[in-house]
Amino acid sequence: MRTIYILLLLFISTTSISQINTNERPHINITGKAELEVSPDEIHIDICLQERVEKGKKITLGELENSLKRELQLINIPSKNLSISDVNSIISKTGWWTKEILSIGKYTLKIAGAQKLKQAFKIFKKLKITEASLTKATHSKLAEYRKKNRINAIKAAKEKADYLLNAINAKTGKPIKVTEIEQNHQNFAQINYVGNSNSYNSNISKIKSYRNETVQFENIKLVSTIHVIFEIK
């Protein structure tokens, strides 16, 4: 019985080794990488409009919104790029003995490029809009650029395999396995504010001075890494 058991183990072991050797194919492991920098063409600004009383007359939220839309249209920013996100009310003292309920509207404005941003700042100053924050700078076709970058990464892997195998008189065969190595995707550009009195970097920062601060945008950096196992012919 013991002899039969040992022979059975030897048979199983031999079969496993045989299968491994039969299924094992000559292959090469390659990692391809591609990088791409994209300049942001889509900037988002959060704006706060607040009703106020001037010379005894109340300027309503609707009037403030319409004034802003008219000014934006003059610099070719369509009204659809301005959307309202929230409305609240406060009780504010408007005279020695009078108080009024004033509405506050929070809006999001989407503009294209830094030049339009500069023009928008001038409009905010003209309309006495004191609360505006840059929330993000991105690209409208970021998904398309990311797709192209992945394609470039897998092409880089194939090119690398070709010249390495060519050095030993071999050729690249079909891909056996393709794996994308996950990256921390960068969807937004860093927004840099440079003032005359101080400098600071922030993704979301209050614009305190239209005159003394310069806004700069870093490029969005896309990195794609693809690992490929190729057969060796």
- Asked if residue 184 and residue 155 are part of one domain, the reply reads yes
Say what the pLDDT of residue 177 is: 95
Q: Of 106, 138, 170, which residue is a domain's last?
A: 138
For the chain, residues with pLDDT lower than 50 are: 1-22, 194-211
Question: Is 146 among the domain residues?
Answer: yes
Question: Is 175 among the domain residues?
Answer: yes
Domain count, the chain: 2
Question: Is 4 among the domain residues?
Answer: no
- Asked if residue 55 and residue 126 are part of one domain, the reply reads yes
Alpha-carbon Rg for the chain, nearest whole angstrom, is: 31
Say what the pLDDT of residue 90 is: 58
Write down the pTM of the prediction.
0.66
- Asked if residue 148 and residue 134 are part of one domain, the reply reads no
Q: Which domain holds residue 65?
A: 42-138
- Asked if residue 175 and residue 63 are part of one domain, the reply reads no
* CATH label of the domain that carries residue 80: 3.30.70
d(CA 106, CA 83): 9
Say what the pLDDT of residue 130 is: 84
Q: Of 101, 121, 138, which residue is a domain's last?
A: 138
- Asked if residue 144 and residue 197 are part of one domain, the reply reads yes
β-bridge partners, 44: 110, 136
- Asked if residue 59 and residue 172 are part of one domain, the reply reads no
Q: Of 123, 138, 153, which residue is a domain's last?
A: 138
β-bridge partners, 127: none
Say what the pLDDT of residue 87 is: 77
| Tally of CB atoms within 10 A around 68 | 23
| Residue found by looking up tokens 């409208």 in the block | 140
Q: b/e map of 19-54 (b: 16 or more CB within 10 Å)?
A: eeeeeeeebbebebbbebebebbbbbbbbebbbeee
Question: Is 12 among the domain residues?
Answer: no
- Asked if residue 188 and residue 155 are part of one domain, the reply reads yes
**Residue-wise pLDDT tens digits, 61-95:** 899 999 999 999 999 999 999 998 877 765 665 55
Question: Is 8 among the domain residues?
Answer: no
Q: Please give the torsion angle defined by the CA atoms of residues 49, 82, 141 and 31, in that order, rounded to the nearest 10 degrees.
A: 30
- Per the rule left: phi > 0, alpha: psi between -120 and 50, beta: everything else, 222 is beta
* CATH label of the domain that carries residue 217: 3.30.110.170
Question: Is 184 among the domain residues?
Answer: yes
- Asked if residue 197 and residue 159 are part of one domain, the reply reads yes
Closest CA to 71 of 33, 128, 14, 24: 128
- Asked if residue 82 and residue 62 are part of one domain, the reply reads yes
- Asked if residue 132 and residue 48 are part of one domain, the reply reads yes
- Asked if residue 168 and residue 102 are part of one domain, the reply reads no
Question: Is 11 among the domain residues?
Answer: no
- Asked if residue 79 and residue 32 are part of one domain, the reply reads no
